[in-house]
Chains A and B, each alone.
Chain A
Amino acid sequence: MRLLTHNMLSSNIKGVTNGFPLRIEVEKVVEKSVDFNPDFLKNMFAKIEYKALVEASRIMGYAELPDHAEPSMLESDDFLRKFHHALMELHLEEGTLVCPETGRRFPVNKGVPNMLLHEDEV
């Protein structure tokens, strides 16, 4: 699972008002290279919760992203490359996602998070 997806996912357990961002517990991280596409990154920047992305990338062991970002920084190729790497190329292969409000754990196996809820959580 890429951090792009992690940034979109939130916990949808019944009664949880703020299920974002899911906390990551890492067991294994994989890097897969993806084609660099600045247009897509610029398009996504407005939709990404940047703060959550920075935190997630640090947990995954990538500390290059600056603490704060502004749309004007998208002009810099250096920033775009880092942003691209954090967003698209870091995969959480094995680990756990934890709901920030209830502490419910969603296991991630072979890169696929199991977001199935129990009967009483729907």
Chain B
Amino acid sequence: MTSRPELKAPPEVFYNDEEARKYTSSSRIIEIQAQLSERALELLALPDDGVPKLLLDIGCGSGLSGETLTESGHQWIGFDISPSMLDVALEREAEGDLILGDMGQGLGVRPGVIDGAISISAVQWLCNADKSCHEPRKRLKSFFESLYRCLARGARAVFQVYPENLAQRELILGYAMRAGFAGGVVVDFPHSTKRRKEYLVLTCGPPSLSSATPKAKGEDEESCSDEESSGDEENQTVSISDRHRPRKKQKLNKKVKGREWVLRKKEQMRRKGNAVPLDTKYTARKRKARF
């Protein structure tokens, strides 16, 4: 049994009333969604001038990611294919406007009006053919082309995706490039299986300095283990050289406590009133190797 929802049923069927409610009542999912959308917004690198922007949220679902956009003061328009998810979004009083639409059919938005687009865990759904008329390549093509049209020049689009394999990632990226986008994939925490997250960062227009792919988080080992509460597998490495040594010798490189420590302990004992030998030049002195 696979755990990938996109292999179970088409999105508008999978996210039925029950699943939509489950999705939005799970505090874990809410937290993850908020984190993902915050990071996506960060990668979007909107100019920091305090002017609210008009953004698109593609696959907005129940409006969890839109909440992050609202909190940072932006106006947004959300697309989703699942009516049940949109119902939940209405109940949650999402601030943005919601549209029932299929991104694979292209977004019906006027050219050049949108300041940026985000999409959280949605684009990989496009790689499936759920109906006989579906052709993933065509759907990817019309999606990226319509997105390219509606974005203002220099605007960015950030998609958090879970590609199934290398081929799927290349397929998605390939169609984005063909539509005219510049950019690439940012992989956060590439060494961790759990926390690894992929973001497609696309810029509208030809490659330039501003369209350089931003740096990923957690690429160096230290920061990877930083905020990790439940121990990560890859940091608990076993040193192989140690394993083959005899037990006695392994203890040799154990830290020996020094003279200062011994003196402190003796002082403690004296204060308790115990009989303690005097401190001399022999105290805590190392023995000769053979005696």
A positions within 8 Å CB-CB of B = 1-2, 4-5, 7-12, 19-20, 37, 39-40, 43-44, 47, 49, 110-117, 119, 122
Contacts and interface: CB of A to CB of B under 8 A. Distances in A.
Interface of B: 50-54, 75, 77, 81, 83, 86-87, 90, 97-102, 105-110, 112-114, 131, 133, 142, 146, 150, 152
B77 A37 contact: no
A40 B73 CA distance: 10
A88 to B, nearest CB: 8
A17 to B, nearest CB: 13
A52 to B, nearest CB: 10
B42 to A, nearest CB: 21
Contacts, number: 80
B32 to A, nearest CB: 25
Nearest to A6: B97
Given A20-B110, A40-B75, A115 B50 contact: no
Given A112-B86, A116-B81, A119-B133, A44 B100 contact: no
B113 A5 contact: no
A111 B109 contact: no
A114 to B, nearest CB: 5
A111 B133 contact: no
Given A11-B108, A39-B52, A110-B90, A47 B97 contact: no
A113 B83 CA distance: 11
B54 A112 contact: no
Given A8-B110, A40-B51, A40-B52, A116 B105 contact: yes
B90 A43 contact: no
B100 A115 contact: yes
A2 B50 CA distance: 22
Contacts of A115: 99-101, 108
| CB-based closest 7 A-B pairs | A12-B108, A5-B97, A115-B101, A40-B52, A39-B51, A47-B113, A114-B100
Given A112-B100, A117-B102, A8 B133 contact: no
A119 B100 CA distance: 16
A122 B105 contact: yes
B114 A112 contact: no
B226 to A, nearest CB: 37
A111 B131 CA distance: 28
A86 B113 CA distance: 18
9 contacts: A2-B97, A8-B150, A12-B108, A43-B53, A111-B98, A112-B98, A113-B100, A122-B105, A122-B142
B109 A10 contact: yes
Contact of A8 (B52, B87, B101, B114): B114
